[in-house]
Amino acid sequence: MNNPDTSSEHFHGSDLQKVEAKYHIKASDIISFSANVNPLGLSDKLKAELSSHLDCLTAYPDREYTALRNVIADYCGCNADHVVVGNGSSELISLFIRALAPKKSLILGPTYSEYMNEAKGAGSEASYFELKESEGFVLDEAALISALADDTSLLVICNPNNPTGGAIRRSVLDRIADHCRSIGCFVLIDETYVEFASDMDDITAVPLAEKYTNLALLRGVSKFYSSPGLRLGYALCSDTGLRQRISMQQVPWSINSLAEVAGRLMFTDTAFQQQTRDLIFSERKRLTKRLSENPLLKVYPSDSNFILVKLLTSDVTAASLFDAAMRLGMMIRDCSTFCFLDESFFRFCIMDPSDNDRLMECIEKCLSK
């Protein structure tokens, strides 16, 4: 297959307008296999209830967000005093890293690039701890413990990890947090994708955020609750001093009134939560099996709503596959810009079964040329 001239251009899942301009496909007609957003959209229940609350926009939200933090505490099973809310998990990643002002940071990678951007922006000497491809991107706990030098002040873990999809069990995180406590290192865990994990109770660090003051976890509603436009995220942190420093740096009312109402409704929408898990679990199993049967692909087991795949033939690159899929109105993620990955890696998120089938056909056709 010819390599189109896409190598110099990389598109993030939210770059639909840029893609529209290049491929002349209306943004609304593009199926985004790249943004990792739940394909179910907003639940009918949420839409109906939210639209009846529009008048909330005429008042400032509660500056303490007490009702929202109580609902989040019920949802997570933690102390409401430990909940911090933010304008998406993005704001919280930034606030935590800036408030911690880590001299030296270690980030498990390949991973989401914002941790490195924020750590560097906060003046930290930041580096990656490599999850090795030869080890299936699975963490080598002993190697991490030895890499954590006495002067490491921040460790960042995305769990489950974007883009590899794998997850670290809580028992392992517990030992890592314990070691970090002994060397004065703070552990920041991004659980943006944890609700998609098949065994979430075994993975989430919620009990650890209660146990350790040197650990915080972050989540958002963008992916699982299909609402990246709402900009709502939250963190759990039992260090009172750190929460106060964050609160002093945060813009007042950074979560708008509608997001405050939506959050309270979403976290109690158990039917939507179940429907999402049913869809993601069955499609993840089906798609992993189908792709794994292709000898030209290596598929990494995922605990998220996306799957990382390696092309085992140099005839097709992530860029050429991106281009072929894009011409059919499907946008996947070329992963060559992630640290430790190259042009043989691509990622796609799970969409509706019929869309997923179209993508599978496109991948299989590209590989059979």
Ligand X SMILES: Cc1ncc(COP(=O)(O)O)c(C=O)c1O
Q: Which is nearer to ligand X, 190 or 343 (CB)?
A: 190
Told to check if 15 binds ligand X by CB under 6 A, we report no
- Measured CA to CA, the distance from residue 259 to residue 272 in angstroms comes to 18
Told to check if 164 binds ligand X by CB under 6 A, we report no
- Segment 121-150, which members bind ligand X (CB under 6 A)? none
Q: What are residue 217's phi and psi, to 5 degrees?
A: -125, 150
Binding track, positions 178-217, relative to ligand X; x by CB under 6 A: ------------x-x-------------------------
Q: Look up tokens 């989040």; give the residue.
A: 72
Q: Look up tokens 């992963």; give the residue.
A: 335
Q: Look up tokens 């097709």; give the residue.
A: 316
- Segment 316-345, which members bind ligand X (CB under 6 A)? none
What the block records as the tokens of 352 is 């509706």
Smallest distance, ligand X to C-beta of residue 178, A? 24
Whether 128 and 159 have beta carbons less than 8 Å apart is answered as no
What the block records as the tokens of 150 is 């006495």
Smallest distance, ligand X to C-beta of residue 96, A? 12
Interacting residue with ligand X among 165, 166, 233, 263 (CB under 6 A): 233
Distance of CA 295 to the CA centre of its chain: 29
Region of 327 (left: φ > 0; alpha: ψ -120 to 50; beta: rest) is: alpha
Longest dimension (CA), the chain: 60
- Is beta strand 104-109 parallel, antiparallel or unpaired with respect to 125-130? parallel
Whose CA is closest to 298, among 284, 359, 334, 307? 307
Told to check if 228 binds ligand X by CB under 6 A, we report yes
Residue of minimal Cβ distance to ligand X:
220
- Segment 81-100, which members bind ligand X (CB under 6 A)? 88-90
Smallest distance, ligand X to C-beta of residue 58, A? 26
Interacting residue with ligand X among 32, 43, 162, 356 (CB under 6 A): 162
Smallest distance, ligand X to C-beta of residue 313, A? 28
Q: Look up tokens 């496909």; give the residue.
A: 25
Q: What is the CA radius of gyration of the chain?
A: 21
Told to check if 107 binds ligand X by CB under 6 A, we report no
- Measured CA to CA, the distance from residue 189 to residue 191 in angstroms comes to 6
If residue 234 lies in a helix (H) or strand (E), which one and from where to where?
strand 233-237
Told to check if 220 binds ligand X by CB under 6 A, we report yes
Q: Which is nearer to ligand X, 92 or 316 (CB)?
A: 92
Whether 30 and 330 have beta carbons less than 8 Å apart is answered as yes
Interacting residue with ligand X among 33, 75, 112, 322 (CB under 6 A): 112
How many residues interact with ligand X (rule CB under 6 A)?
13
Among 72-80, 220-228, 284-292, 345-353, the segment contacting ligand X (CB under 6 A): 220-228
Told to check if 158 binds ligand X by CB under 6 A, we report yes
Smallest distance, ligand X to C-beta of residue 36, A? 6
Binding residues (CB under 6 A) for ligand X: these are 36, 88-90, 112, 158, 162, 190, 192, 220, 222, 228, 233
